[in-house]
Structures are given as structure tokens and as C-alpha cells.
């Protein structure tokens, strides 16, 4: 293998505002009612600022900070103090950005790392005391459901969604905008990197062990879960979008170019060959790859490769709507209908 190796118009422009460095002054000037959701993931902490325009979700700003909350959780079962500090700083920054937009209400949720860590409750209390934020730690199934709600705004046919996160991978199958079944597997790009990759660049043996573990776990856990064909295979989250930007060699993230782009199994195998031959520093200089994702993108690519294997599909479609949009729609749009 290493030898082969929307229904709704997106509001983001093709610029660098995904890192929160540039604020949309037009939105601030219009004084419209802005809301925000924050996803505290295993690898990154993201914020979506949006407005509810008569039941339609209008995205205003999307920011990401790589806080790596999953640092060491797989080994120690606890949130690392450095990870807590990085995340607290990101949340404080997001609170200031949100104030600039006049955000009136927040919903914050934590996923895999916070589900697994024994000391999450203490961290939640620290965030509440310092910043006034309430954080809901959601189950893998709830995370999958939010992902489906986000994607279903863009596709109406039968869909099988995968979301490769830092600590877990979610699968959601739906028809006619309704979830039929979903599941969460405790394999993600941060977790797999920490467990299997120790060399830089990684050795063939390390990658082989990781690949075998992923395939065995996916095959066992998804037995009886996968739907009959035909369906559209949809990828959401940072691994899917990053592989799209690598393929397209995008110097800055462009939602309009990433959304509904496709990646074939052959293209993925070529990217794996390229990524596996490089050191982390060399990957950091690759066009289309965010430097802070350079150490975990290879594990994410192997997770995706094994999704191709277990489904028998040869191509997937990238969706730029995910659990952030799903949380926004579920907690602020649907409840007001």
C-alpha cells in the first residue's frame, strides 16, 4: 500500500478568517443577533459565530485553535495541565472575539478527550469560575447526531457520514434527512498517533501495526452496521477537509473550494505515500496542510483508508458543515421553530 500508495449557500469567503485573525466588520456594523457554539475537541477547539435568519443558519465567523486536549489522555486517563492551559487561553480569546461580534448566547460542548478523562469535572468548574462558560460533555452518539444535523443541511440523498476526530471516529447513516443508525469508535488521529507512531518519519513497521489495529477495530465494530448500497460517503471534520486542501494545494482555506470536493482511494494512497516519506518538519511546509496538524494527519489518512476498505467505496465527498453547524442548528435554530 505504501508503495502504491449545498443545499444552503455557505457564508465563508475564501480568506484566512478561519483562524479568527480577521473579523467581519460588516456583520458587526449591522448589529444583527449573533450566537456562538464552541466545540472542545481532542485536537482542536473551534468556534462558530452565526445568526438565525428565519430558520436558516447563516455562518458569520469560524475560528480554530489547536489546543490538543487529548494530550496524554490515552496513557494517563487525565487532562494534561498544559492542555488545560492552552484550552483555557483559547476560550478566553473566543470570549473576546465573540464580544466584538456582540454574541448574545453560547453553547459549548466537549467530546472524546473530555469524555475519557477522570479530571474533566474539575476543569469544567475552573472554566465556569474564570469565564462563566457552561460546557456540556456529550456522548459519542450525541456527537454523531450533531454531525448528521450539520451535514443534512447540504445533502438529501442516502448518506453515510464519517467524522475522524482526535480521539474517536463517528459513523452516521441517514435517509430522507433522518438518522437511521450511528456509532462512535474510540480511534482518532491523535489517539492513533500517540499509540503507534514514535519515529520521525515513521517506520514501515509502525504504520503497519497502526493500519492493522485500525482495520481490525473498524471491521469488528461496524459489522452489521454498514448500510446497503447505493449511498453517498461523506467526510466531515479536520482530517477530511485537510486532505482536500492538500489535494488542491490551497495556500489559504477556502470553504467554497473544499465543500463538496471529492477524494478517491487512489488519490488518498498517493497522499499517504507522500506524507509517510516526510518528517513532521517537512510536512509542516506542505502547501495545503496546517502546520499544527502535520504530526497527526498521517494517522487520520490511515483511518480514512480503512473506511474505504470496510465500505468498499472508492471516493468520498467532503462536507464543510459538521457538528458545529449541527450544534448551532439543534440548540438555537430548531428550538425556536
Is residue 27 predicted with pLDDT exceeding 90? no
Retrieve residue 275's grid coordinates: 506524507
Q: How confident is the model at residue 336 (pLDDT cuts 50, 70, 90)?
A: low
Q: How confident is the model at residue 31 (pLDDT cuts 50, 70, 90)?
A: low
Over residues 169-175, mean pLDDT:
94
Average pLDDT, rounded, for the chain? 90
- How many residues does the structure list for the chain? 337
Sequential DSSP letters for 122-141: HHHHHHHHHH---EEE--HH
Query: Do residues 83 and 69 make contact, with C-beta atoms less than 8 angstroms apart?
Result: yes
- Domains of the chain with bracketed CATH: 25-140 (3.30.420.40), 144-318 (3.30.420.150)
Is residue 224 predicted with pLDDT exceeding 80? yes
- How many Cα atoms sit within 13 Å of 241 on the Cβ side? 20
pLDDT for the residue numbered 26: 46
Over residues 120-138, mean pLDDT:
98
Query: Do residues 19 and 90 make contact, with C-beta atoms less than 8 angstroms apart?
Result: no
Backbone angles phi, psi at 234, to 5 degrees: -120, 130
Over residues 120-137, mean pLDDT:
98
Burial of 268 (0-12, 13-18, 19+ CB in 10 A): buried
Q: What distance, in Å, lies between the first and last C-alpha atoms of the chain? A: 50
Amino acid at each position: 500500500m505504501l508503495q502504491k500508495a449545498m443545499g444552503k449557500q455557505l457564508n465563508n469567503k475564501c480568506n484566512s478568517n478561519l483562524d479568527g485573525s480577521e473579523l467581519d466588520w460588516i456583520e458587526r456594523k449591522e448589529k444583527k443577533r449573533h450566537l456562538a457554539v464552541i466545540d472542545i475537541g481532542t485536537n482542536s477547539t473551534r468556534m462558530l459565530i452565526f445568526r438565525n435568519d428565519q430558520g436558516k443558519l447563516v455562518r458569520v465567523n469560524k475560528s480554530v485553535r489547536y489546543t490538543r486536549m487529548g494530550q496524554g489522555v490515552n496513557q494517563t486517563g487525565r487532562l494534561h495541565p498544559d492542555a488545560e492551559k492552552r484550552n483555557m487561553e483559547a476560550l478566553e480569546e473566543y470570549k473576546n472575539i465573540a464580544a466584538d461580534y456582540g454574541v448574545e448566547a453560547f453553547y459549548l460542548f466537549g467530546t472524546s478527550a473530555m469524555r475519557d478523562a477522570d479530571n474533566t469535572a474539575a476543569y469544567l468548574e475552573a472554566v465556569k469560575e474564570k469565564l462563566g462558560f457552561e460546557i456540556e460533555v456529550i456522548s459519542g452518539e450525541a456527537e454523531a447526531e450533531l454531525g448528521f444535523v450539520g451535514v443534512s443541511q447540504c445533502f438529501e440523498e442516502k448518506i453515510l457520514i464519517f467524522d475522524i476526530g482526535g480521539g474517536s471516529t463517528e459513523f452516521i447513516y441517514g435517509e430522507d434527512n433522518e438518522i437511521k443508525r450511528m456509532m462512535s469508535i474510540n480511534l482518532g488521529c491523535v489517539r492513533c498517533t500517540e499509540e503507534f507512531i514514535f519515529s520521525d518519519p515513521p517506520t514501515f513497521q509502525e504504520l503497519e501495526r497502526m493500519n492493522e489495529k485500525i482495520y481490525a477495530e473498524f471491521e469488528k465494530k461496524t459489522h452489521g452496521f454498514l448500510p446497503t448500497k447505493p449511498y453517498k460517503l461523506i467526510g466531515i471534520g479536520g482530517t477530511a477537509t485537510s486532505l482536500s486542501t492538500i489535494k488542491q494545494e490551497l495556500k489559504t482555506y477556502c470553504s467554497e473550494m473544499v465543500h463538496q470536493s471529492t477524494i478517491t482511494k487512489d488519490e488518498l494512497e498517493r497522499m499517504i505515500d507522500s506524507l509517510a516519506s516526510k518528517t513532521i518538519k517537512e510536512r509542516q511546509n506542505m502547501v495545503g496542510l496546517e502546520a499544527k496538524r502535520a504530526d497527526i494527519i498521517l494517522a487520520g489518512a490511515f483511518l480514512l483508508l480503512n473506511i474505504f476498505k470496510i465500505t468498499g467505496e472508492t471516493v468520498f465527498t467532503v462536507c464543510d458543515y459538521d457538528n458545529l453547524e449541527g450544534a448551532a442548528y439543534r440548540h438555537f435554530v430548531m428550538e425556536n421553530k
